[in-house]
């Protein structure tokens, strides 16, 4: 039995040494493989026509982000104010930039924290702005044996991966590490 426990301890020690190298890169890979295209596709639906599409968001952008305000305005974005425009443009930019930063591992902790906020706002908009609470199964419930509700079940996994990145960073295979190890980023040696 002692030999079995010793073998197990050696295995666990090896996993403990590998975890800081593998897990951050794996978390970024899982995010990129499952959510990068999801967020970029969503952002593309918010762009207006032409080169200035980012600063002239589509009607759908306003309807997605401010559904009740758009309904009250007769689906005329011109009836909404500067605040609404700024939120739509910032949200669209965030959907493009934050996932990219996470995927390449640049300013990862800050980008992941921003994505957690984004997912929280997205979830609240889905639940309250689009009336998701009224739809059976959209909200879901934890510990209910049904793991596929769109809000509580799926997004808790998203937030878990993002929280891991906030706490542990991007890992060794990242632009964060490249920048941290760049010669100009190192402190100058002290004169004797």
Residue 24 clears pLDDT 90, i.e. is over it: yes
Residue 89: inside a domain, yes or no?
yes
**In this prediction, what percent of the chain has a pLDDT beyond 70?**
93
Instruction: Work out the pLDDT band at 137, boundaries 50, 70, 90.
Output: low
Distance CA 161, CA 22 (A): 14
The 10s digit of each residue's pLDDT in 170-190 is 999 999 999 888 888 777 665
Distance CA 84, CA 69 (A): 9
Phi, then psi, of 183 in degrees rounded to 5: -55, -35
Residue 37: inside a domain, yes or no?
yes
Mean pLDDT of 37-46: 95
Q: What is the pLDDT of residue 151?
A: 83
Residue 123: inside a domain, yes or no?
yes
Residue 24's CB is within 10 A of a number of other CB atoms, namely: 24
Instruction: Work out the pLDDT band at 145, boundaries 50, 70, 90.
Output: confident
Q: What is the DSSP string of 94-129?
A: HHHHHHHHHHHTSSHHHHHHHHHHHHHHHHHIIIII
Residue 79: inside a domain, yes or no?
yes
User: In this structure, are residues 174 and 22 in contact, taking their beta carbons and an 8 Å threshold?
Assistant: no
- Residue 70: Cβ-neighbour burial (10 angstroms; 0-12, 13-18, 19+): buried
Residue 18: inside a domain, yes or no?
no
Sign, Cα dihedral of 141, 143, 146, 148: positive
The 10s digit of each residue's pLDDT in 51-81 is 899 999 999 999 999 998 998 999 999 999 9
Instruction: Work out the pLDDT band at 27, boundaries 50, 70, 90.
Output: very high
Per the structure, the complete domain to which residue 102 belongs is given by: 26-171
Domain tally, the chain? 1
Mean pLDDT of 12-32: 92
The 10s digit of each residue's pLDDT in 84-133 is 999 999 999 999 999 999 999 999 999 999 999 999 999 888 888 776 55
């Amino acid at each position: 039995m002692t030999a079995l426990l010793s073998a197990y301890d050696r295995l666990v020690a090896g996993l403990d040494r590998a975890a800081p190298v593998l897990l951050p890169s794996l978390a970024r890979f899982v995010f990129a493989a499952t959510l990068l295209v999801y967020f970029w596709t969503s952002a593309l639906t918010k762009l207006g026509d032409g080169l200035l599409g980012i600063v002239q968001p589509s009607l759908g952008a306003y309807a997605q982000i401010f559904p009740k305000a758009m309904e009250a305005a007769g689906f005329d974005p011109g009836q909404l104010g500067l605040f609404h425009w700024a939120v739509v443009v910032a949200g669209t930019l965030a959907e493009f930039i934050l996932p990219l930063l996470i995927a390449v591992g640049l300013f990862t902790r800050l980008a992941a924290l921003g994505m957690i906020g984004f997912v929280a706002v997205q979830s609240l908009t889905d639940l309250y702005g689009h009336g998701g609470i009224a739809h059976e199964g959209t909200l879901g419930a934890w510990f209910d044996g049904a793991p596929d509700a769109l809000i509580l079940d799926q997004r808790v996994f998203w937030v878990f991966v993002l929280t891991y990145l906030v706490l542990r960073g991007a890992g060794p295979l990242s632009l964060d590490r490249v920048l941290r190890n760049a010669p100009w980023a190192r402190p100058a040696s002290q004169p004797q």
